[in-house]
Chains A and B, each alone.
Chain A
Amino acid sequence: MINLETHLPALQVLVPMLLAPLVILLRPRGLAWAATAAVSLMAFAIAVSLTMGVMGGGLYSYEMGSWPAPYGIALQVDAFSVLVLLVITAASSIALLACKSSLDSEIEATRQPLFYAAWLLVVAGLCGIVVAADAFNIFVFMEISSLASYVLVAGGPDRRALPAVFKYLIMGTIGATFYLIGIGLIYMMTGTLNLADMELRIHEVADQRPILVAAGFITIGLALKAAVFPLHVWLPNAYTYAPNAVTVFLAACATKVALYVLMRFDFVVFQQNLVGHEIQFAAFLMPLAVLAILIGSAVAIFEPNLKRLFAYSSVAQIGYILLGASLVSMMGLTAGIIHIFNHALAKGAIFLAVACLATRLTHLNFKHLAGAARQMPWTMGALVLGGLSLIGVPGTAGFISKWYLVMAALERGPLGVFLILVIIAGSLMALVYIWRIVETAYFQAPGAQVNAQISGEAPLPMLVITWLTALSSLYFGLVPSVPLWLSSAAAESLLGHLR
């Protein structure tokens, strides 16, 4: 009798991965979408079961084909993994369920099966990265998800997506290659690719140059994938020209997975073994995080295109996650990890609202946005709610992350005061760009040269899911117990490796 629960980690990856090719065969209209949405929801259900298992005090270790580690492929699911899995599968499901009409209008009917197959491969790849317990499998899944996501980003009708995807492809491949070089070096020195095994074996060779070089390559490679400032330059255009549903999905989870790997690698493999590494880690990433917050938000203030504005906002928010991680403390890590969750909710809601706007507006810039709130009050309402979470207004999920971040910074004395000023500056700048949008949509009259006849609200299913996402941002701002438990457990386990 097969006990399904023990196989869940493998199923999390296999379900989307094996069903992806089948989606290609689904020619009838709408069937590919339905199948993809169903698979995505199945993946979400698996993630939820894994969450419940982990919260009940479990750590899933799985060996593919029962080959023992370190020879076989091992999977591991703990609190941190489960949090990111929830984000990935929920983002995918929400984007698919909400944006059917948007996807139908942007992707030609004949290409849809291929597009949706790629979507499922992205889900499979991202989930695979999260559950894999050895470095090479992480690379394999990273490549699967990246290549499939290039297909997604280029899938829309906007021709400008092609140069954007090209830049994304080049930079993503460089990132993956750096990562591969890094783990290659480690393999040469330690003879293993399994993360847990690496943690033990690297100790003997920790002071040798190849390991230090490997640490550098891996960090830079993953930083490229995670759009850490200044390696973020592929992100704005990729998010802007992708189909709207793709932006919802990728903005919520793509870069977060790379951050997940970065944190795992760093805390599990490098921190305890390389002398002074936690200081190097902090010293390297903290300034980049600060710059990301300040510069990302500043550029967003002046950006006329809505999608690109929020893409730069994402760069800033990634800075918050990194800032938390670079504080290397219980509170700091909890803050960074919970922000992975909270930002996904906020940005998901915002990009869904933008997708709603896109169903009625011809262009997504401020000129066309003027007066939109009159015809689309619900859409704008959801956008504002998501925006409040970005700013970090109490009562929203964004506030919880900011609270923890500030508390973590307070533990650092004078440096902490500077960091608090940066965090506050980031919030105020977010206030400015959200405010620009509110003022344009609510208080300006629709321009004469623009298509002033916005014919009513977005389609109802889209609105409903957008509002559900926005309301969850509120819900998890008032009842953050589950993400908080997961983030604290994750932080504890990451710091536990620092013995």
Chain B
Amino acid sequence: MTAESAILLSLITPVAGAVLIILAARINDNAREAATLTTAVALIYSVWSLLPVLYSGGRPAVRVAEVLPGIDIAFKVEPLGMLFAALASGLWLVNSLYSIGYMRGNKEKNQTRFYVMFAISLAATMGIAFSANLFTLFLFYEMLTLSTYPLVSHKGDAKTVRSARVYLGILISASIGLFLPAIIWTYSVAGTGDFTSGGILSGKMSGPEVGLLLGLFVFGAAKAAVMPVHRWLPAAMVAPTPVSALLHAVAVVKAGVFTITKVIVYIFGVDFLFSEPSGSWLFYAAAFTIVAASIVALKQQNLKRLLAYSTIAQLSYVVMAAAILKPLAEIGAAIHMVAHAFGKITLFFAAGAIYTVSKKTELHQLRGIGRRMPVTMTAFTIGALSMIGVPPTGGFVSKWFILAGAFQSDNYMALATIIASTVLNAAYFLPIIYLAWFQKENVPPPREHGEAPFAAVLALSITAALTIAFFLFNGPVLELEEQLVRGMTP
């Protein structure tokens, strides 16, 4: 399989899979689940087959169509996109396993629609990861917003619909109101929207316009949840947990920070942005989001909302690292996408597992649950430690690189922010761990339960293991991302 066909196959596979899921659902539920899993495996195959090409320095590209003169739908694989695609496709398989356990355990309705829209969302994610220019990115970015809407509003009751409206409203308004003008402005100034090493804006733009354009991109890509366009994330927690786990810990939110990082590296150019003082506000906006979101998380009583605010903070780690504009920090940004993904998906899996067997959603209900659900809570603990950034979890590795990048540019503000947020993370995660393991249950649950359904437990064990594995075996990822920063001034 050539690299070009692998790219196209990565886009077509999930869509074909969606059709397959619809057809298989007519036979029975097991056929449908098999269709999902098969599609996920096929996607992993086509996406991961691109890895050897990337490692040897190749940048496969394919142009699909020219829509307008100078604007085409084209794909090009580079280290950041490769990382994102590999992450999303790999975790989709695990998430599908989890979904089977969760959806059946909760006897959810409309499961076929769920799996179908999930597949389409993955297709959109692949499109975002492999896009070669701003137009293609925008096309699939919007597709992702629209395809995740039915997933967020899955339950269909009034409260869910209202929250889903917030979700869609913020994302689309930011896209059309801010992101799209930024793209058009870029095309009009630079004559192109192609992602190019070193950026396309240096020499074409200077002064406060640079800061303004950066702002339009950062707040337009509202999926990155930089405050104040972050409200959609807590609103999206009304979705079933598999949705929150893959989409709002991995695919959708990572699409946001991926977009911002890609724009910083390939549209502005790290060196260009570093030389423009008007771009320096981004660092402070991200730092503020980190601290503010962590403080809000402290006050949360609902587990998923706490995880949502934790996600907002962790996403801004990526943005802040990207905004430090030094090679080591850029690597840190890329690695944090992976580390956070593994950790957060584990946390959401655990939260969903708890909900499935006990219908518990609030923190205070988790007293002593470690005794009933040891595997789940162990995974939760590992995920929490990764958020805090403690070895031997993956979160430690990314924090290391971000700090190294901060030192490289004498950025003590970054250091202070990371320390503050680490402390805050500990402040809201450790009490949960303590409550779950070291306190006894004082109210018996509505009905006796043990661990979650097997598929769910399997999934969360895999991701917890990945979190630890990432601490030990992060060489390959590092090697890939080092290619990203080649050519940047240290």
Question: Do A443 and B156 have beta carbons less than 8 Å apart?
Answer: yes
The listed residue (A427, A435, A439, A479) touching B67 by CB distance below 8 A is A479
In chain A, positions 473-495 with a C-beta closer than 8 Å to chain B are 477-480, 484
Closest residue of chain B to A411 (Cβ to Cβ) is B188
Partner among A407, A410, A424, A443 whose Cβ is within 8 Å of the Cβ of B176:
A424
**A199-207, A286-294, A387-395, A449-457: which lies at the interface:** A387-395
Residue of B nearest to A481 (CB): B66
Min CB–CB distance B461 → chain A (angstroms): 37
A391 to B153, Cβ gap below 8 A?
no
A384 nearest CB neighbor, chain B only: B146
Binds A, one of B9-17, B26-34, B134-142, B474-482: B134-142
Distance in angstroms between the alpha carbons of A395 and B67 in the assembled complex: 9
> Nearest CB to that of B177 among chain A residues?
A424
Q: List 15 A-B contacts (CB under 8 A).
A: A393-B176, A395-B143, A407-B187, A410-B184, A410-B188, A420-B181, A420-B184, A428-B173, A428-B176, A435-B169, A439-B161, A443-B153, A443-B161, A477-B67, A478-B67
**A residues within 8 A CB of B67?**
400, 477-480
A394 close to B135 (CB less than 8 A): yes
> In the complex, which residues of chain B have a beta carbon less than 8 angstroms from the beta carbon of A427?
176
B339 to chain A, nearest CB (A): 32
Q: Is B165 an interface residue (CB 8 A)?
A: yes
List chain B residues, Cβ under 8 A from A478: 65, 67, 73
Interface residues of B (CB under 8 A from A): 65, 67-68, 71, 73, 135, 138-139, 142-143, 153, 156, 161, 165, 168-169, 172-173, 176-177, 180-181, 184-185, 187-188
Name the B residues within 8 Å of A439 (CB-CB): 161, 165
> How distant is A381 from chain B, measured CB to nearest CB, in Å?
12
Which A residues are in CB contact (< 8 Å) with B173?
428, 431
Tell me the complex Cα distance, A435–B146, Å. 12
A254 interface residue per 8 A CB criterion = no
CB-CB contacts below 8 Å: A357-393 with B: 391-393
Contacts of A443 in B (CB 8 A): 153, 156, 161
- Given contacts A407-B184, A480-B67, whether A431 and B176 have CB atoms under 8 Å apart is yes
Closest chain B residue to A405, Cβ basis: B184
List residues of chain A with CB within 8 A of the CB of B65. 478-479
Complex contacts, A479 vs chain B, CB 8 Å: 65, 67
Report if A410-B185 is in contact (Cβ < 8 Å); known contacts: A431-B173, A443-B153, A484-B68: yes
Say whether B188 contacts A407, CB under 8 Å: yes
**Are B181 and A394 in contact, with the CB atoms below 8 A?**
no
Q: How far is the CB of B25 from chain A (nearest CB, A)?
A: 16
Chain A, 386-431, CB within 8 A of any chain B CB: 391-395, 400, 403, 406-407, 410, 420, 424, 427-428, 431
A203 to chain B, nearest CB (A): 36
Query: B69 — nearest CB in chain A belongs to which residue?
Result: A484
CA distance A443 to B159 in the complex (A): 11
Residue of A nearest to B143 (CB): A395
- Asked if residues A394 and B185 are in contact (CB atoms below 8 Å), the reply is no
Complex: how many Å from CA A394 to CA B135? Answer: 8
3 interchain residue pairs of minimum CB distance: A443-B161, A410-B188, A394-B139
When the two chains form their complex, are residues B177 and A400 in contact, meaning their CB atoms are under 8 A apart? no
Chain B neighbourhood of A407, CB < 8 A? 184, 187-188
- A interface with B by C-beta (< 8 Å): 391-395, 400, 403, 406-407, 410, 420, 424, 427-428, 431, 435, 439, 443, 477-480, 484
CB atoms of B181 and A406 under 8 A apart? yes
Question: Which B residues are CB-close (under 8 A) to A391?
Answer: 176
Q: Distance in Å from the Cβ of A320 to the closest Cβ of chain B?
A: 15
User: How far apart sit A424 and B168, CA to CA, in the bound complex (Å)?
Assistant: 17
Chain B residues whose C-beta falls within 8 Å of the C-beta of A484 in the assembled complex: 68
| 16 new A-B contacts at CB < 8 Å, known A394-B135, A394-B139, A484-B68 | A391-B176, A393-B176, A394-B138, A395-B142, A395-B143, A400-B68, A403-B184, A406-B184, A407-B188, A420-B184, A424-B181, A428-B173, A435-B168, A439-B165, A477-B67, A478-B73
Q: How far is the CB of A432 from chain B (nearest CB, A)?
A: 9
In the bound complex, CA of A477 to CA of B67 (Å): 8
In the bound complex, what is the Cα–Cα distance between A479 and B65 (angstroms)? Answer: 8
When chains A and B are docked, how far (Å) is the Cα of A431 from the Cα of B68?
Answer: 24
Residue of A nearest to B139 (CB): A394
The answer to whether B172 and A431 have CB atoms under 8 Å apart is: yes
Cα–Cα distance between A400 and B177 once the two chains are bound (Å): 16
Beta-carbon contact of A403 and B181 below 8 Å: no
Name A428's contact: one of B168, B177, B188 (CB within 8 Å).
Answer: B177
Nearest CB in chain A to that of B156: its residue? A443
Q: How far is the CB of A371 from chain B (nearest CB, A)?
A: 11
- Give Cα A391–Cα B67 distance, bound, in whole angstroms: 18
Chain B: CB-nearest residue to A404: B68
Which residue of chain B is the closest to A394 with respect to CB atoms? B139
CB of A181, distance to nearest CB on chain B (Å): 42
The complex places the Cα of A2 from the Cα of B87 at a distance, in Å, of 68
Name the residue on A nearest B175 (C-beta): A393
Closest to B172 in A: A431
Q: Once bound together, how far apart are the Cα atoms of A428 and B172, in whole Å? A: 9
Smallest beta-carbon distance B278→chain A, Å = 18
Contact (A403, B73) CB under 8 Å given A428-B177, A443-B153 = no
- Minimum C-beta distance from B113 to chain A (A): 11
| Least CB separation from B184: chain A residue | A406
**Given the interface contacts A407-B188, A439-B161, does A480 sit within 8 Å of B68 by beta carbon?**
yes
Query: CA A420 – CA B181 in complex, angstroms?
Result: 8
Chain B residues within an 8 Å CB radius of A480: 67-68
Q: In this complex, what residue of B is CB-closest to A488?
A: B69
CA of A431 to CA of B171, assembled, Å:
12
- B192: shortest Cβ distance to chain A, in Å? 13
Cα–Cα, bound, A479→B173 (Å): 26
